[in-house]
Structure 1
Amino acid sequence: MAYYVYILKSLSDQSYYKGFTENPIIRLEQHNNAESKYTSSKIPWKLVYLECFEQKKDALIREKRLKKYSHQQIEQLISSGKNCLSDLRTFISAG
């Protein structure tokens, strides 16, 4: 099983949200359907960054670190291109 740490960007106010999930597609839908109290006021959300992990504990450690990042650090991370978002897009296209 894979575990993911993700970053969402609010298209309404350009803020970021960092989280952990086992299914990034369903989790994004939950955020955009106002099923998450914290993010419901900033809909719509776009998935802009995704990291994949084999171990749940590693993903949770990474999520905790990312939550401490500044807005600028998050933007640098996203622009680095070092994520598995393209793998997810390929998977969705093939499905």
Structure 2
Amino acid sequence: MCHFYILYSPTLDKYYTGYTCSDLLDRLRKDNANHKGYTGKANDWEIVYQESFYSKTEAYVRERQIKSWKSRKRIEALIQDKL
């Protein structure tokens, strides 16, 4: 299984979208680790939304769709609808 996910950092007050075909919690540990990437700016990322897919392509397409919105309000509406 592959996953599309949205992370939120209270410290940065930012969302991050991504996809992975690895274990989702393992991926979160990597995002919260100290590294040079975007998520390396904070270590308090939490998963606020996720969808599972059978293929990497499906997860990637979903990630690109959400990123194309370029809208925090739409992302927050998506998260609220699923909670």
Matches of 1:67 and 1:49 in 2, distance apart?
14
Runs (5+) with no aligned partner, structure 2: none
Give the distance between the partners of 2:47 and 2:77, measured in 1 at CA.
Answer: 15
Q: Does residue 75 in structure 1 map to residue 69 in structure 2?
A: no
Deviation at 1:58, TM superposition (A): 0.9
Higher Cα radius of gyration = 1
Structure 1 runs of 4+ aligned residues shifted over 2 Å read: none
- Provide TM-score, normalisation by structure 1: 0.78
| TM alignment of 1:43-58, pairs within 5 A | 43-58=43-58
Following superposition of structure 1 onto structure 2, how do residues 1-95 of structure 1 map, counting pairs within 5 Å? 2-22=1-21, 23-35=23-35, 37-69=37-69, 70-81=71-82
Choose between structure 1 and 2 for higher RCO, CA contacts under 8 A separated by at least 6 residues. 2
* Secondary structure in structure 2 of the residue aligned to 1:78: helix
User: How far 1:35 moved relative to its partner?
Assistant: 3.7
8 Å CA contact 1:6, 1:51 repeated in 2: yes
Number of equivalent positions: 81
SS in 2 for 1:44: coil
CA deviations on 1:46-94 (whole Å, 9 max, x unpaired) are 1000000012211111111111221000000000017xxxxxxxxxxxx
Unpaired segments of 5 or more residues in structure 1?
Answer: 83-95
TM-score normalized by the length of structure 2: 0.88
The 2-side partners of 1:12 and 1:43 are apart by 9
RMSD over aligned CA atoms reads: 1.4
